[in-house]
Amino acid sequence: MNYVQRNIINSFLLLTLSGLASLGFAQENSIVVSSTTSTEQSGLFNYLLPIYKSKSGIDVKVVAVGTGQALDIGRRGDADVVFVHDKPAEEQFVAEGFSSKRYEVMYNDFILIGPKGDPAKIAGGKEIDVAFQKIAAAQSPFISRGDKSGTNAAELRYWKSAGINPTNGSWYKETGSGMGPALNTASAMNAYILADRGTWLSFKNRGDLIILVQGDPKLFNQYGVMLVNPEKFPQVKKTLGQNFIDWLISKEGQAVIASYKIDGEQLFFPNAKPSRK
């Protein structure tokens, strides 16, 4: 082997090792976050994550599904962080040992959407239970996500509180889909639907749908974030995942969340508790 050939081979090996090192670095500086469709479809992640990456160098890969599925991904150890909005289910996740701590991050609210014609005559009401009772009495079409999401869990709580089992009626349709597709179905069918305000504000295909009921304290929608337990799942990137959580609840992260608006309207309201460290 002559001098030129050795140099070519050495250069190739250096480039290969450099590439592998870079790949390893990139992999180590990324985390997987299982989260709700509302945080993605509202546009929050597209706004927030580039800012976080510019500050930290950490790439966040989001798996956006319903809250129930997002928690199940965490239970399998297939995510580093879970960012969802079903407080009872989140507290159960911690109680089961899949995380050691739940952090509150932000909130908005649920709203009841329906057609302008409003066949159930619920417009302007402030009580979600009463609105659901009227929809059931009128047997007006209602679209449910039916996907074990945080929104679906809240909807089912409201039906229970109203004393109604909606699954007994043909007017009640479960889509098994995320918030955006469910809204598309409601728009196509001129049906009622419970939605989170963030996704609604970013939703373009509204058709004849408008907000009909809002303001009931029961419609409060809290989001929480948790690090998946690295003692249970050694592959969890504890340091990087905690870095993301710490940034979300920091003064800077909270300010970024508050600054996300559509047509001048704020979608999420930060409410992280001050750190006790």
- Take residue 50 and report the two structure tokens written for it: 């580039």
- φ and ψ at 252, to 5 degrees? -65, -50
Each residue of 12-42: pLDDT tens digit?
Answer: 434 443 443 344 444 469 999 999 988 998 9
- Take residue 9 and report the two structure tokens written for it: 């081979």
As annotated, the residues of the chain forming the CATH 3.40.190.10 domain(s) are: 3-107+222-270, 109-219
C-alpha Rg value of the chain to the nearest Å: 23
Q: How far is CA 227 from CA 35, 79, 84, 174, in A?
A: 12, 9, 12, 31
Nearest alpha carbon to residue 66 among 156, 173, 147, 169: 147
DSSP state of 275: P
What is the DSSP secondary-structure string of 245-257?
Answer: HHHHHSHHHHHHH
Q: How far is CA 113 from CA 71, 96, 138, 207, in A?
A: 27, 35, 16, 12
Q: Which CATH number fits domain 3-107+222-270: 3.40.50.970, 3.30.300.10, 3.40.190.10, 2.60.40.1180?
A: 3.40.190.10
Nearest alpha carbon to residue 260 among 46, 33, 63: 46
Q: How far is CA 79 from CA 34, 73, 114, 123, 205, in A?
A: 6, 6, 36, 41, 32
Assign domain 109-219 to its CATH superfamily: Periplasmic binding protein-like II (3.40.190.10)
pTM: 0.84
Each residue of 107-123: pLDDT tens digit?
Answer: 999 999 999 999 999 99
Check whether 253 has a pLDDT greater than 50.
yes
Residues whose CB is less than 8 angstroms from the CB of residue 5 and which lie 6 or more positions away in sequence, other chains included: none
For the chain, give the mean pLDDT: 90
Place of tokens 């608006």: 261
Q: What pLDDT shows up at residue 273? A: 86
Categorise residue 103: left if φ over 0, alpha if ψ from -120 to 50, beta otherwise. beta
Each residue of 161-209: pLDDT tens digit?
Answer: 999 999 988 999 999 998 999 999 999 999 999 999 999 999 989 999 9
Instruction: Determine the Cα–Cα distance for residues 81 and 28; give it in Å rounded to an integer.
Output: 15
Pairing assessment for the beta strands 265-266 and 142-144 based on DSSP bridges = unpaired
